[in-house]
Structure 1
């Protein structure tokens, strides 16, 4: 009886290991809209005036980017449009019309930014008046051929104490 039980257990284990556990494939489609890939605050400590910089990737499958709208969170102030710069992955400044209206920063690109480009948006002289552990800028993009602002995410900046 014990011998039959051992054979049954061995057979069951052999069959179980011969059958693959699961087959899978990626269900995530390639990105078709721009996305925020990183953000950094300088200096990273308790300063009242800082630089907030984030990187935006425009995937190959995307339409060209014509405008970005950045909502500045409560507790932060961005006033000087000449202190906002947009650069491509090689460090060249991108031609941009910048406007600041209250808590909204609009970056309009006279020549749309092509897919496959990574942009660095640097906002210098951001004044901090509030207290939090993280600042969240809501970012919207407008693509060529789409007459609507698409929410693409948040640029998140940690506050280090």
Structure 2
């Protein structure tokens, strides 16, 4: 009976070690295209007013970013008050931006291009979920110095549980 218990414990511990890998980001700082590193919701509720935060990473081999375009999912209602949209650097300092909200698009024009090798957060405050659905998927694009086209850089999703 003891040996059966020992085998069960060893099998359980091995299973946990295999199933629970580390979720570290595989992205490095030597890329050429800006990308979304992470996204969070606070508070983590299904209903009410909350904040979505996105971390944008501009790698050192990228060009400086002059504009960020955020496409809002259909089931999200954003505040029309541009004071509810913030761009904050890693030190917690606000980045000087001009914000325009047009329908389901947010345009952030940076007063001074955001240099390569930079990470910063975009906070969308006082947003609401219109219905539960399957979740929310935001799309992101940027404009870089010397390029007059929108460059898609990725998506961020929030799943509803």
Check whether the contact 1:68–1:139 (CA below 8 A) recurs between aligned residues. yes
What whole-Å deviation, never above 9, does each CA across 1:17-43 have from its counterpart, x for those lacking one? xxxxxxxxxxx9941011100000111
**How large is the Cα RMSD of the aligned pairs?**
1.6
Q: Please, what TM-score do these two structures have when normalized by structure 2? A: 0.78
Name the count of aligned residue pairs.
Answer: 133
**How far did residue 84 of structure 1 move?**
0.4
Q: Please, what TM-score do these two structures have when normalized by structure 1? A: 0.78
Which region of structure 1 is more displaced relative to structure 2, 51-60 or 149-158?
Answer: 149-158
What whole-Å deviation, never above 9, does each CA across 1:85-130 have from its counterpart, x for those lacking one? 0011111100000010110000000100000110100000112112
CA gap of 1:155–1:85, structure 2 versus 1, over 3 A, is same
User: Is 1:115 the equivalent of 2:116?
Assistant: yes
User: Is 1:47 the equivalent of 2:47?
Assistant: yes
Flag structure 1 segments of 5+ consecutive residues without an equivalent.
1-27
Partner in structure 2 of residue 152 of structure 1: 153
Partner in structure 1 of residue 77 of structure 2: 77
Check whether the contact 1:44–1:159 (CA below 8 A) recurs between aligned residues. no
Flag structure 2 segments of 5+ consecutive residues without an equivalent.
1-27
3-state DSSP of counterpart to 1:118: strand
How is 1:51-130 mapped onto 2 (pairs within 5 angstroms)?
51-78=51-78, 79-130=80-131
Partner in structure 1 of residue 144 of structure 2: 143
Larger Rg: 1
d(CA) in 1 for partners of 2:134 and 2:41?
12
Check whether the contact 2:29–2:117 (CA below 8 A) recurs between aligned residues. no
d(CA) in 2 for partners of 1:56 and 1:152?
10
CA gap of 1:91–1:29, structure 2 versus 1, over 3 A, is closer
Which region of structure 1 is more displaced relative to structure 2, 126-135 or 33-42?
Answer: 126-135
How is 1:10-21 mapped onto 2 (pairs within 5 angstroms)?
none
